[in-house]
Amino acid sequence: MGTITISMALIINGKKVEVPGLTTKSWLDGPSWLKEITDFNPRARWLRMIVMHTHKGVKGKVLPGIGKASSTAESLARYQTNTDRQVSWDFTIDRDGSVLVQNDPTKKYSWQAGNVNSISLGFELVQTDEGDVYEGQIEKAVLLIDALTALLGIQRQIAWSRKTNGPKVSVVKRLQEGGNNVVGIVGHRNQTTDRGPGDPGDAMYLALQKAGYECFDLDEGEDLKTWKGRQKALGLPEAECDGVPGPKTIEALKTSGHKFGLFVKRPVDDVLVP
């Protein structure tokens, strides 16, 4: 068996992009069981959304510290290359916080979130047998999201509920309708009624909120209202002030001094080289 290379790189636009603090293994590094996804379509549309998943989809506890690398992560990686099962996702975050990379999301889209597959990417958090995740694992998931949002121009905002003043648990109607005007980070539970509150559970949303990600009630259109105002302030033509921070909004933000075209800044922005 050959040597397994441990890196800190994601595969974006066909290139390795190092993310300091993130331990990864990709199909370019080995081992032999770690391969590119086999269920996919070519990416043809603007990638605007990250969908969070837990592999069991059940609600568990958040355990202190960090877990140990698990055989479950390898099983999930192998599962993605079984052509009899039409399902895939882009990244798997093991209990020790390491990340398995099985797709370049700029080239292909995985089959992980139904009707929003073509405009999203997805990652799976490996849970314990009881459905728990670890604090350290969540921290690495936040770092992965920080890096992906920067590299892909996805605004740092999450699905929230004003009624409960907490993470959005139920389905977002706009996602059911195709999600074309939704940008940011959502859970699988926000996209389909087939998944319960444990997919991905509240902890990921709360960690992103603590990290400074903006919280918008998507059913109330808070994101659309806020971004329309920002687009006008950036001087975009009236016809382009639609509340959806797409490529033109990103370029305007870059021009105004926002690195990567993102409204919310994160520490990784200072060290990430696209």
In a domain, 124, yes or no: yes
Question: Per-residue confidence at 24, pLDDT binned at 50, 70, 90?
Answer: very high
pLDDT tens for 204-233 read: 999 999 999 999 999 999 999 999 999 999
Contact 26, 89 (CB under 8 A): no
Q: What is the pLDDT of residue 6?
A: 64
The pTM of the full predicted model, rounded to 2 decimals, is 0.97
In a domain, 26, yes or no: yes
Question: Per-residue confidence at 274, pLDDT binned at 50, 70, 90?
Answer: confident
Q: What is the pLDDT of residue 62?
A: 98
pLDDT over 70 for what percent of the chain? 98
pLDDT tens for 229-270 read: 999 999 999 999 999 999 999 999 999 999 999 999 999 999
The encoded tokens of residue 212 equal 């400074």
Q: What is the pLDDT of residue 273?
A: 81
In a domain, 253, yes or no: no
Pairwise CA distance, residues 263 & 154, whole Å:
10
Q: What is the pLDDT of residue 5?
A: 60
pLDDT at 2 over 90: no
In a domain, 2, yes or no: no
Pairwise CA distance, residues 183 & 174, whole Å:
11
Pairwise CA distance, residues 32 & 29, whole Å:
9
pLDDT at 1 over 50: no
Contact 54, 198 (CB under 8 A): yes
In a domain, 117, yes or no: yes
Least confident of 51-60, 79-88, 105-114, 139-148: 79-88
- Mean pLDDT value across residues 174-190: 98
Q: What is the pLDDT of residue 85?
A: 78
Contacting residues for 271 by C-beta, under 8 A, at least 6 apart: 20
CATH number at residue 161: 3.40.80.10
45-80 burial by CB neighbour count: b if 16+ within 10 A, else e?
A: ebbbbbbbbbbbbebbebbeebbeebebbbebbeeb
Question: Per-residue confidence at 8, pLDDT binned at 50, 70, 90?
Answer: confident
In a domain, 258, yes or no: no
In a domain, 122, yes or no: yes
Q: Look up the domain containing 163 and give its range.
A: 9-218
| Count of the separate structural domains present in the chain | 1
In a domain, 266, yes or no: no
